[in-house]
Structure 1
Amino acid sequence: MKKIIGNLAIALIIGVLFSCNGHYRFLIGQPPEHPSVIMPLSPGDGYIWIGGEWYFNGNSYLWRDGYWTRPRDGIRWVPGDWKRNHHEWYYNPGRWRK
């Protein structure tokens, strides 16, 4: 019973930490290459392109294609980027920011 409660407490703490953070950091050996992608035509005036980006599926990074969308009032899109921390790389996903 103590082991179950301990495991639940750890899971709860990890869940709270990740839910408070606006993005996740996954350490890897080296950033993967961006695939070659052909950007489709804009669906109309006033749309912005949100470039494709990497996401972590629990085992590895996978590529998510970009898409057209209308900008949101008062905020701008910040593309995701790779950062280096000592000898490891991590990816900050794109996000909307005021």
Structure 2
Amino acid sequence: MFMDTSSEPASPTNPQGRRHDRMAVEMMVRLRKGVQRSTVFLKDMTTHGARVEGLGRMQIDESVSLSLPGLKPKIAFVAWCDAHSAGLEFEKPLC
């Protein structure tokens, strides 16, 4: 999802050549990492993953559970991270 390795070329409607269009989101959601539960800021998402901020550094491939409004918690894996945000890839797509 966020570490796109597809060969889809960039275009004016998809300038970074991403596989899935992102939807900008600005909401607080719950994230569970092991026994630690935190509230994080959901910045954007696709049917295949999401970008969150506010948890600090995470480990690549680390498993987390993301609670989205109206859905059961979604298992996701850290695809990339920096000091302030992380890209999560859902275990199973939302649709």
Q: TM-score range by the shorter chain?
A: under 0.3
More strand by share: 2
More helix by share: 1
TM-score (norm: length of structure 2): 0.24
TM-score (norm: length of structure 1): 0.23
Higher relative contact order (CA 8 A, sep 6+): 1
Structure with bigger gyration radius: 1
